Structure 1
Amino acid sequence: MSGKKDSAYRVMVVDDSAVIRGLLTRALEEDPEISVVASVANGQMAVSSIGRSDVEVVVLDIEMPVMDGLTALPKLLEARPGVQVVMASTLTHKNADISLRALRAGAADYVTKPTSGSALNSAEAFKRELTEKVKVLGAAARRRLGVPKPIGPSAPRAVPAPRQIVLRRAPAIGPRALAIGSSTGGPQALLKVLGELKGPLPMPIFITQHMPATFTALLAEHIARVSGRPAREAVDGEVAVAGTVYVAPGDRHMRVEPVAGGARLRIDQGPPENFCRPSADPMLRSLAAVYGARLLTVILTGMGADGLKGCQEVVAAGGGVIAQDEASSVVWGMPGAVATNGLCHAVLPLDRIADHLKPLLARSAA
């Protein structure tokens, strides 16, 4: 472990394989803004040592002896409130389900470890993804822990004043479709919002969450359980049905095209947008073209600015946009982009979004 980067984000790696711990550590330490300050072989060791190293991000394996990752997760969050946890596992149906349960229990994000037979470019993509997520979540941890953001060897830089958020007027007519875009921190945010939207909804709900394919099918199952309404991965060619939740499949964009009285789903592997597939922008563009002013959009926590261009088209068509606020977001990238560009009629804490939606959705028959 390196002690040369005093301002670097402090990371703990937890994995029962010494080889994997070494690979993760080397991948992270290649970035000058990251320092791996602890490397342990199971959840019990992580819980015992987390308080001794000022850890800001934990990369936590799922399957380990003595104490597995899912058992260790709440103990780590209790031992160091504000720490950000990234679940790491191979991409299997079982591990994807456990990862989603971990996200509901407080993990901030997940990464899928490349297998021994993975191509070199797959391994490099994993390293980039892991490094990016650790730095973004490290910054989030510092906000929660009250630690200054690293500024490197140069003289302290002035922090720019936050951009003023100017709200638009809410649409005067009720929506006939609800669209939601999310990324980092999104699964738990989605489950909270949709779990609180009880009762029948006379409209389809379209969701783009940045996830691989195995995860999106399971996410739909979790949404169905917490919301009490049908939810599934979208299927190309099906006609959207009121009251049903459609989740964009992993590695596929979800768009819609008009049909009599509604929309038909189209699933494709077009080029990534905003480095994402699925991406919220193509979904929102197509929904705005079909539903116009009768589209209501919610942008939840996530890295980057996916959804910004799509929301511009939603607003141009007369639709409404709501964003999650910065304080309740794991990462205020996607919602911050739409909020600070003047596209929202409301910017709200996560626990107030469902209550804000209810009267708007009740006007849908008007």
Structure 2
Amino acid sequence: MSTSAPAKLRVMLCDDSSTVRAALARVLETDPAIAVVARVGDGAQALAALDGAPSAERAQVVLLDLEMPVMDGMTALPLILRREPRPIVIVASALTQRGASATMEALRAGASDYIPKPGAAGGGLNDPNFRADLLAKVKGWARLRQPTARVAASPPRPARRGEPPRIICIGSSTGGPQALAALVRRLPRLITLPVVIVQHMPAGFTAMLAKHLDALGGPPVSEARQGEVLEAGRIYLAPGDHHLLAKAEGARTVLHLSDAPPENFCRPAVDPTLRSLIAIYGRAVQAVILTGMGHDGLMGCRALAQAGGAIWAQDEASSVVWGMPGAVARAGLAQEQGTPESLGDALAHLCGRRP
């Protein structure tokens, strides 16, 4: 008795460069679980391909370039998202300030995620980090959309043992912008602690992400600046291509941007930020590790656990990639796990007061 092979994940490539489309197809089809079912050159062709395909053959994920002739990605995005069943859209963005701004606009308009196109100096589309990131995002978002995926219910508000926190450190990577937005939305405008966020992102993109998060109605969010004094009630985002470190200067805590080598292949990385905070606050650091590839944050959380601090992690069911939070959870360091929303509620209960 034969069993049918599992259906492949269907992907559409929408880019005005045939060379880029061919290169992306080669990357995606290295995974036997993925099939590229359409390659089109602009947004109008993408809509026609979606409408012309039977439901069982229609693309489930659309990799969408933003800058194209005829119909660009931003024009096509809301029209693509009206199709049923609704496709997952991952936008491909240029590594420029304009590209970063357009990416954040696309996320606000309903795109699930973004993938920055690497420059030729870094190996271009053959860069192994780009290839791994692309495959992880395509498969991760598709997994979350599956009917069998069950997002865990909000856990009870975690009870904190020992010393109350004096600072919160949040780390994230793949899938992080949407997870951060979901968490920050749950925080009240008035919080009693400073919050530091380390999101793996290129330079330029973090400034746009800070503006995106700042507009959500929670605490004020800004990209961290060299020499800035840490203040309660604010959220500081590590800028791309710099580690974010805290240093005690008298009674103040001052932020410093470091050009030290990448850690865990990342700059900014979570581990150096956590180490610097533990040196000042000890067990009074509260760490939250959200969705992301790799294991950045694991060593910092080990040090925090030894100091007696609290560590929470995003659960597997709600993570695009359960790499970073999974590493912390499997090491037995996560005292609580939950969705970004439930973790945000718990943080609000822990350190905030609603107006």
- Identify which of 90, 97, 100 aligns with 1:93: 97
Runs of 5+ unmatched residues, structure 2 = 149-157
Aligned partner of 2:229 in structure 1 is 239
Which letter does structure 2 place at the counterpart of 1:235?
Answer: R
Which 10-residue stretch deviates more, 208-217 or 91-100?
91-100
Q: How many residues align?
A: 336
**Sequence identity percentage:** 46
Aligned partner of 2:321 in structure 1 is 331
Which letter does structure 1 place at the counterpart of 2:173?
Answer: S
Q: What RMSD in Å do the two structures reach over aligned CA positions? A: 2.8
Assess, with a 3 A threshold, how the Cα gap between structure 1 residues 105 and 281 changes in structure 2: closer, same or farther. farther
- Matches of 2:237 and 2:222, distance apart in 1: 6
Aligned partner of 2:178 in structure 1 is 188
- Matches of 2:23 and 2:139, distance apart in 1: 23
1:218-297 matched pairs, under 5 angstroms? 218-227=208-217, 229-297=219-287
1:60 aligns with 2:64: yes
- Identify which of 194, 199, 204 aligns with 1:209: 199
Aligned partner of 2:137 in structure 1 is 137
Aligned partner of 1:123 in structure 2 is 124
**Partner-residue secondary structure (3-state), 1:79:** coil
Assess, with a 3 A threshold, how the Cα gap between structure 1 residues 220 and 145 changes in structure 2: closer, same or farther. closer
- Matches of 1:27 and 1:181, distance apart in 2: 28
Runs of 5+ unmatched residues, structure 1 = 149-167
- Output the TM-score relative to the length of structure 1: 0.81
Assess, with a 3 A threshold, how the Cα gap between structure 1 residues 143 and 315 changes in structure 2: closer, same or farther. same
CA contact (8 A) 1:82 1:141 kept: no
CA contact (8 A) 1:57 1:134 kept: no
- Matches of 1:272 and 1:8, distance apart in 2: 36
Aligned partner of 2:40 in structure 1 is 40
Q: What whole-Å deviation, never above 9, does each CA across 1:133-183 have from its counterpart, x for those lacking one?
A: 2322343255345599xxxxxxxxxxxxxxxxxxx9733332111111111
Which letter does structure 1 place at the counterpart of 2:287?
Answer: T
Q: Give the C-alpha shift of residue 111 in structure 1.
A: 2.4
Assess, with a 3 A threshold, how the Cα gap between structure 1 residues 30 and 192 changes in structure 2: closer, same or farther. closer
- Matches of 1:132 and 1:334, distance apart in 2: 15
**Partner-residue secondary structure (3-state), 1:188:** helix
Q: Give the C-alpha shift of residue 34 in structure 1.
A: 4.8
Q: Give the C-alpha shift of residue 256 in structure 1.
A: 1.2
Aligned partner of 1:320 in structure 2 is 310
